[in-house]
Amino acid sequence: MTDTATAAAAIIDGKAFAQGLREKVAVAAADFEAKAGRKAGLAVVLVGEDPASQVYVRSKGKMTVACGMNSFEHKLPADASEAELLAVVQALNADPAVDGILVQLPLPAHMNEQTVIAAIDPDKDVDGFHVINVGRLATGLPGFVPCTPLGCLMLLKDKLGSLSGLDAVVIGRSNIVGKPMAQLLTAESCTVTLAHSRTRDLPDVVRRADIVVAAVGRPEMVRGEWIKPGATVIDVGINRVEGAEGEKARLVGDVDFASASAVAGAITPVPGGVGPMTIAVLLRNAIVAAHRNAGIAFDDASL
């Protein structure tokens, strides 16, 4: 057990792990191209001019190309109709050069996100948001898992090895992170509690966990005194906090890093922890999709 009086938590370097994963994807992409006679293809659809989404889409495109895959970007104006967006999705579903489709969220208010996600071919749904992939995850069938929770699981297994028998608490019940994270940990034979902002005695619930995944969207909510000594803490939160007068805004997680790192055995920082994993896992899902769609045998566990 960690001696919390003298030792600080080990830092889980998501940035370095993500780089290693992208390198593996690049090797798999080159092998796929040699066998299929074409590059794997990832299409990203962006609606509107949201600056953060634009930056994110550019980053995805650059990394896709760097890994040896084709990147297809489709941009629609903010006032495009839902029917226009659905037409783009249907065209990408039918395009044999496209193995993965990602519609950048959030969408403009006049579009129904669930309707759009449901229109994506589940076998090209590399975000893992389609209800069929959600069902596959819940029932243990092969499918695509949302990128952030899968990235968290990779970091946990890299740090801890087998997770079997460990107590895990996931704070946050979103469809994108909390719920799939709980299902992934259950599949690893953890004893899982899915907690949230309304959980009674939340600090006590968290305090018994060997693994804590914080994905609740509240800056520095989880304090060091909530953490079991030696526990592994995965902080999914990315919150911009305004600094005092004359100071720059800073990014913080859902965990108070200073106090938690004095107690935990290992912890992800913000930034540099979970964040870099999301795009890396997206690329991983894309090359897995390419092999499945082309009928080429591939060991998903190799990535």
Write the pLDDT tens digit of every residue in 69-84: 999 999 999 999 999 9
- ω into residue 229 within 30 of 0, thus cis? no
Residue 90's identity, in one-letter code, is Q
Which pTM does this prediction carry?
0.94
Considering the segment(s) 36-121 as one domain, its CATH architecture is: 3-Layer(aba) Sandwich (3.40)
Active-site pick, 127, 210, 254, 256: 127
Query: pLDDT digits over 170-190, tens only?
Result: 999 999 999 999 999 999 999
Report the topology of domain 146-276.
Rossmann fold (3.40.50)
Banded model confidence at residue 6, pLDDT cuts 50, 70, 90: very low
pLDDT for position 51: 85
pLDDT for position 2: 41
pLDDT for position 56: 86
Does 246 have pLDDT greater than 80?
A: no
Does 167 have pLDDT greater than 60?
A: yes
Specify which residues 241 forms β-bridges with. 250
Whether residue 114 lies in the annotated active site: no
Query: pLDDT digits over 104-115, tens only?
Result: 999 999 999 999
Whether residue 15 lies in the annotated active site: no
Domain boundaries defined on the chain = 36-121, 146-276
Closest CA to 298 of 153, 116, 99: 99
Whether residue 60 lies in the annotated active site: yes
Those residues with Cβ within 8 angstroms of residue 96's Cβ, 6 or more apart along the chain or in another chain: none
Banded model confidence at residue 5, pLDDT cuts 50, 70, 90: very low
pLDDT for position 183: 97
Give the mean pLDDT of 91-109. Answer: 96
Q: What is the torsional sign of CA 235, 239, 101, 61?
A: negative
Count of CB atoms within 10 A of residue 123's CB?
Answer: 18
Active-site pick, 39, 99, 104, 183: 104
- Asked if 36-121 and 146-276 have one fold, the answer is yes
